[in-house]
Structure 1
């Protein structure tokens, strides 16, 4: 099974007084989602999963619509900030985050509705394990978040410490699952934002996802 983990497109910022922040995509984010669908509709996907956050759902929805699939929602693939009343896009945090950004830097997670890093890591890997065990299809797309992808990649490369990789908006990271073996195939593919695709070759020729050589 090949899993394409996809970071959401650029979202809007949102600050709420009494409910969890769950912004959708910005105009640029919607463009990124359409470009992503243009690219991935040529691949032989047979199952699509999304985190429950709007920014992830809206990112993968164009592809879901084109393929005519049902979307499976997975709460445990949501970001570390899933219960926060504030959401600020990563690139704007330092300039616009204020007290929220300072709480992140200080590790005051409970005050801002974040999971602890340990809780986050545990639930993401639990969701990843479930996906690998159930294998709902040969070629699966998962719309999620930069932090989720970082946790999966950290596990796959057996990092002594949890690493941080800057995944671009709608960046694609591919994982191959073969029994108990799990391999990182690619990291942060962004060709869909600058190129046009009319078909697939290589590992996916003839509509098949073929195991990489190792």
Structure 2
């Protein structure tokens, strides 16, 4: 079972700046703690996370509470699938301009890196309980890949909430199926 987790809420209001790498807000830490409580009875032994500060902090809270090890993985880095000129017709025309504003460092042409990342992660971890901490667009692309849906589908999946849980496990034929999607945890008062 692979548990996809979007990082907890990021600190600060300047997330839109290219190169910004904020950590978690106080609410974000509480969200992740509640998620850790939800996962506490699962046999999770490993937490893989992207290299950003907020995914690293999310993984740290999870590992402290789950007794699992944490490993950084570039496969879970923040990426945005951007269509090549040959594939732009896969997306509605009203989306085309939005892609121009995607920072160069986050661009994943036709989602090829994300697709390869998903298949590698599934192949290596489908038979164990592992938590993958990443970003909203990555979770949406992975779900799109599991569903074998058209490329633009990832933009209609969600919104993926902070510290939400999406669980993917094998069906009887060993194929990945979405078992839980974007499940929010209830914060204690």
TM-score, length-normalised on structure 2?
0.77
Contact 2:46/2:130 (CA < 8 Å) preserved in 1? yes
Post-superposition offset of 1:174:
0.7
1:150 alignment counterpart: 140
1:157 is displaced (CA, Å) by 1.4
Structure 1 residues 109 and 180: alpha-carbon distance in aligned structure 2, compared to 1, 3 A threshold = farther
Superposition misfits of 4+ residues, deviation over 6 angstroms: none
* Closer, same or farther: CA 177–14 of 1 in aligned 2, 3 Å: same
**Residue 176 of structure 2 corresponds to residue 185 of structure 1:** no
The DSSP-based 3-state class of the residue aligned with 1:56 is helix
Matched-pair contact (CA < 8 Å) for 1:47–1:137:
no
What stretches of structure 1 of length at least 5 have no aligned partner? Answer: 82-103, 197-214
Equivalent runs, 1:68-147 vs 2, <5 Å: 68-80=67-79, 105-109=97-101, 112-118=103-109, 121-135=111-125, 138-147=128-137
Q: Deviations over 1:98-143 (max 9, x none)?
A: xxxxxx9542257x33433535x22122122112222286111111
Deviation of the 1:148 alpha carbon: 0.5
Q: Is the 8 A contact 1:151 1:162 kept in 2?
A: no
Q: TM-score, normalised by structure 1?
A: 0.69
For residue 165 of structure 2, the aligned residue among 146, 155, 172 is 172
Q: Which residue of 1 aligns with 2:92?
A: none
For the residue of structure 2 that corresponds to 1:159, the secondary structure is coil
SS in 1 for 2:100: coil
Greater shift, 180-189 or 138-147, is seen at 180-189
What root-mean-square deviation, in Å, do the aligned CA atoms of Structure 1 and Structure 2 show?
2.8
Q: Pick closer, same or farther for the CA change 1:64–1:116 going to 2, 3 Å.
A: same
Unaligned runs of 5+ in 2: 81-95
Larger radius of gyration: 1
